[in-house]
Structure 1
Amino acid sequence: MAEIAVVAISVAKPGHEEQLRAALEGIVGPTRAEEGVLQYDLHRDLQEPRRFVFVERWTSQEALAAHAQSAHIQAYRAAVVDWVEHAEIRVVSKIA
């Protein structure tokens, strides 16, 4: 299967920006060590500092699925449930 990309956006509830940032930073290292990850970069929106954006590249849909089930992602999701106002994940493929 062809390489895929992901844009994952998390918006912190007001007052929880730094808690969410720390939690997001905490999953970067373990994720970069996963099989199938090509890129896993965390960004913060300059105009809306409550918005965090991951830009990701994966070797396959299967690698992304394994990532979603990993222990560190499951722990992250449980930890941030009260800190996230909105989350959106878009899986895309490069066309040009």
Structure 2
Amino acid sequence: MTKLTITATIIAKADCIDLVKSELEKVVAPSRKENGCINYDLHQDNQDPAHFFMFENWETRELWQAHLESAHFKQFATITEGALENLAIHEMTQIV
């Protein structure tokens, strides 16, 4: 099976940028250690500090789904509840 690429665009509310950034940073290291994680890269827009972008590659969709059930991911979701303006996640497959 072809690896699964995940892109996530995360927009923090203006008064929650530091909280969202801090919590996103906390998720990176344990996610990179998860079974099936190829890469897990966090970016912040240079012009808009509220705009974060996550680029991930997983060996399979099932392993990514397991990541969504991990304690560190659930903790992120709980702590940042109400702090996000928008969250868009896309499951993608590299074609070339």
Q: TM-score, normalised by structure 2?
A: 0.96
Partner of 2:34: 34
Partner of 2:72: 72
Q: Which residues in structure 2 correspond to 1:39-50 (within 5 Å)?
A: 39-50=39-50
Q: Segments of 4+ in structure 1 off by > 4 A?
A: none
**Distance in structure 1 (CA, Å) of the matches to 2:90 and 2:21:** 20
Shift of 1:82: 1.8
Residues 54-88 of structure 1, C-alpha deviations (whole Å, 9 max, x = no match): 01000000111100111111111011012111001
Q: Which amino acid aligns with 1:35?
A: N
How many residue pairs were aligned? 96
Q: TM-score, normalised by structure 1?
A: 0.96
Structure 1 residues without counterparts, runs of 5 or longer? none
**Distance in structure 2 (CA, Å) of the matches to 1:81 and 1:53:** 18
Partner of 2:18: 18
